[in-house]
Chains A and B, each alone.
Chain A
Amino acid sequence: AQKITQTQPGMFVQEKEAVTLDCTYDTSDPSYGLFWYKQPSSGEMIFLIYQGSYDQQNATEGRYSLNFQKARKSANLVISASQLGDSAMYFCAMREGATSGTYKYIFGTGTRLKVLA
């Protein structure tokens, strides 16, 4: 069954340090997409980064990078040079391809990140 696992309910990181948020997934679909969203205390879900299952290179977006290890089925989010504004809940999500007939997301339970000054 399709599943996303985020094993870190909470994380702390010192300002300006890098932090890795873990995400593992399980799917039998050869075509899928992996997403990370940030949810600050205000509640909105902010798209951060996307990795396609056929992408050869790891995705990067500014201070965000996705460490994609396909054989291990992991898609960890790396935030470099953490800022106080990075404190939020982070969700990993997977979208399967056409074989499922829909493009719904499957989410993990989230990791709450706290950046310390």
Chain B
Amino acid sequence: EAGVTQFPSHSVIEKGQTVTLRCDPISGHDNLYWYRRVMGKEIKFLLHFVKESKQDESGMPNNRFLAERTGGTYSTLKVQPAELEDSGVYFCASSFETSYNEQFFGPGTRLTVL
């Protein structure tokens, strides 16, 4: 069974540009989460999808971030325009149910904004 995959693994962009991160959850996992770790800080929740619906987007920093999950499969996270403080590692995770089941994490996308 394939794990959670994320693309790209690294992205370096200039301030003001747009970047789109992609996450493919484990097949059959309805729940998809986005998290972010800024250098030296804790990993912070961004949002949670149940299938194609946003269950909780309380962690989204501002309206420069847009997450979608069309068809309830893969998800994209777009940052437009990117700012320096958006640099960090963006993790995607998925889980089968929202009960106690652990979330399975992808390898992350390291975003650097210059």
Contacts and interface: CB of A to CB of B under 8 A. Distances in A.
B91 A103 contact: no
Contacts of B103: 47, 105
B31 A106 contact: no
A25 interface: no
Contacts, number: 60
A105 B48 contact: no
Interface string B98-109: 111011111110
Which range contains the number of B residues in contact with the other chain? 20 to 34
Interface in B30-45: 31, 33, 35, 40-45
Contacts of A104: 33, 45, 48, 56, 59
A44 B9 CA distance: 11
Interface string A35-54: 10100001111010010100
Interface of A is mostly: strand
B108 A102 contact: no
B42 A110 contact: yes
A35 B104 CA distance: 12
A50 B103 CA distance: 11
Given A107-B42, A107-B43, A108-B42, A101 B100 contact: no
Interface of A: 4, 33, 35, 37, 42-45, 47, 50, 52, 91, 93, 95, 101-110
Interface of B: 31, 33, 35, 40-45, 48, 55-56, 58-59, 89, 91, 93, 95, 98-100, 102-108, 110
